Amino acid sequence: MAIATAPIFYLDIQAWIDRLLFVFALVIEVVSFVHCLIQRPDAFPAINTLPKAAWLAMIGGSVLVTLLSQSALGILGLVAVTIAAIYLLDVRPALRDAAAGGGPW
C-alpha cells in the first residue's frame, strides 16, 4: 500500500532528469569534438597521446552513440561521456600547454 500513496508525477520528474542528463552529455561530447577538430594534428604526438584522427573517431562515435541511444544512463552512454570527459580533462590541458599560448581554452 505504500506504493499507492506515492505521488503520481515521479515518472515525469524521472523523465526530465533523464533529458537533462542527455543534453548535458551531448554538450560535453560536442564541445570536445569541436575542440579536437580545431587542434593541430602535430600537437597530439607532442604530448604522447593518440593521434588526432583516433580522438576524432572516438569522440564522434561517442556523439553517435549518445544520439542513437537517446540516453546517457546506459553503459554505452556512460562510456561515451567518459571518453569525452577524458579528452576535456586530460588531453585538452596538455594541448594547451604544448601550444605555448595562453588563455583558458
Query: In this predicted model, what pLDDT tens digit does every residue of 47-91 receive, in sequence order?
Result: 889 999 999 999 999 999 999 998 888 899 999 999 999 999 999
Quickly count: other Cβ atoms within 10 Å of residue 65's Cβ. Answer: 19
Residue 87 φ then ψ, to 5°: -60, -50
Instruction: Of 5-19, 26-40, 47-61, 90-104, give the lowest mean pLDDT range.
Output: 90-104
